Amino acid sequence: CAMRLRLAGAVLLAAAAYYVYLPLPSGVSEPWKLMLLDALFRSFMRSDAAHSLGVCHRVRLLNRVVSWVEVIEARSSPTVKVIDSSLGGVPTRVFQPNGDSRLRRGVIYFHGGGWALGSASGFNPRSDVFIIFLKMAEDLDAVIMSVDYRLAPEAVFPDQYHDAVAASRVFLSAELLQQYSIDPERLCVSGDSAGGNLAAAVAQELSLDDSLQVKFKAQALIYPVLQALDFHTPSYQQNQAVPILYRPYMARFWLQYLGADSSLEPVLLANNHSALDQRAISAATRSKLNWTALLPTERKKNFKPVVEEKGSPGVVGAVPGLMDVRAAPLLAEQEVLGKTPQAYVMTCEFDVLRDDGLMYGRRLRDAGVEVTSDHYEDGFHGCMVFANLPMMSSVGQRSMRNYIRWLDQNL
């Protein structure tokens, strides 16, 4: 009996190791931690039984599980008061340092998760978000407001965008700044991944609003997603099989966000939606994401553009969000970019979204905006949340430390 148990255990261990193991590029920081996280994520993203039966959407199922595991009640620390509030009717978690009422810096933050996953309080794989916000509030002596915008599939574009703009307008209001003793000259809009998309879109929108008495001093974008017309940039080609954000996942997230038919996923992945015969996409628009001109040589490597002569007709017309600058901030006009505040853009070598961030940084610089590019050669998508136990990694600690340092020096 003992022998059979040992044999069964060995078989199960071997099966688990086979499922978890994934060949990764040699430069990835601490690959086994990433493999373990990816195995968990894959289990839900590829488990379509409940979805196919109509019992529960796969995204809802994943959100329910990670909420059960990770959502943290508003718990204050000895140095930071944590409360749940709202901005413009949008639920928001506030991290406010204890102490006197002197003016402090302020950061409004939009979490990632493909516009479909997560919350302002933290979620798996973002198990450290709550701790990160506490650390930001402590180290920066700043008020941090993390926004719980609506999520897909119940909400689709432009709902998330409208939530982000509404919350940001209230964040910039004289009443709120006075209520939380926030310095109106030291304000930042920030976010990671899909949240970086919302932060960039908010920075553009509010920089154009001359009715606002207060504007953001800075925008800090963490591996942002910024366009959906080219799924064959060098980083999409290089990292299409690198966890946790596989190329098909990103196409799926885009279609959910834009309220489009999921059957268009192969069309997006083949770049058929942006073929040269798509008259709605002008040469001027294509130039805004022309990576052969916007990326440095070391990022282009030996990859070649994938541009189809003829594609699937009518996709851009059926999914207008693909061309909407509110959804794809990389498509903004140069004069709009030039009005946005100084920027911090974090990118990771092993991330399909790497080139979105690099191209955006280049376009901002060309528009006259001061940009700090923070690139991690051993980084992967979502790495900043690997800054604390149990999944603490070197690149996670470095990226979080440098992000907070930039805010400290520029806000």
Pairing of strands 371-380, 90-97: unpaired
Q: What are phi and psi of 350, to 5 degrees?
A: -100, 60
Long-range pairs of 158-162 with CB within 8 A, sequence gap ≥ 24: 158/321, 158/324, 158/326, 158/327, 160/115, 160/194, 160/198, 160/257, 161/198, 161/201, 161/326, 161/327
Q: In the annotation, is 211 catalytic?
A: no
Which tokens in the block code for residue 22? Answer: 């994934």
- Point out the catalytic residue in the list 273, 381, 393, 399: 381
Which tokens in the block code for residue 6? Answer: 């040992």
The residue among 74, 224, 213 whose CA lies nearest residue 164 is 224
Whole-angstrom distance, CA of residue 371 vs CA of residue 354: 16
H-helix or E-strand spanning residue 192: strand 182-192
Q: In the annotation, is 351 catalytic?
A: yes
Name the residue type at position 77. Answer: S
H-helix or E-strand spanning residue 295: none
Q: In the annotation, is 173 catalytic?
A: no
SS3 content of the chain, % helix, strand, coil (to 5): 45, 15, 40
The residue among 158, 162, 128 whose CA lies nearest residue 147 is 162
CB of 129 within 8 A of CB of 123? yes
Cα dihedral across residues 401, 404, 409, 410: positive or negative? positive
Whole-angstrom distance, CA of residue 124 vs CA of residue 231: 26
H-helix or E-strand spanning residue 147: strand 142-147
Name the residue type at position 76. Answer: S
- Point out the catalytic residue in the list 146, 168, 190, 193: 193
User: What is the per-residue DSSP string for 38-104?
Assistant: HHHHHHHHT--HHHHTTSS-HHHHHHHHHHHHH-------SSEEEEEEEETTEEEEEEEE-S----E
- Point out the catalytic residue in the list 38, 128, 351, 355: 351
Q: What single DSSP character describes residue 310?
A: S
CB of 216 within 8 A of CB of 278? no
Show Cβ contacts of residue 411 under 8 Å, excluding neighbours closer than 6 positions: 105, 107, 140, 142, 186, 187, 188, 217, 218
Active site residues: 193, 351, 381
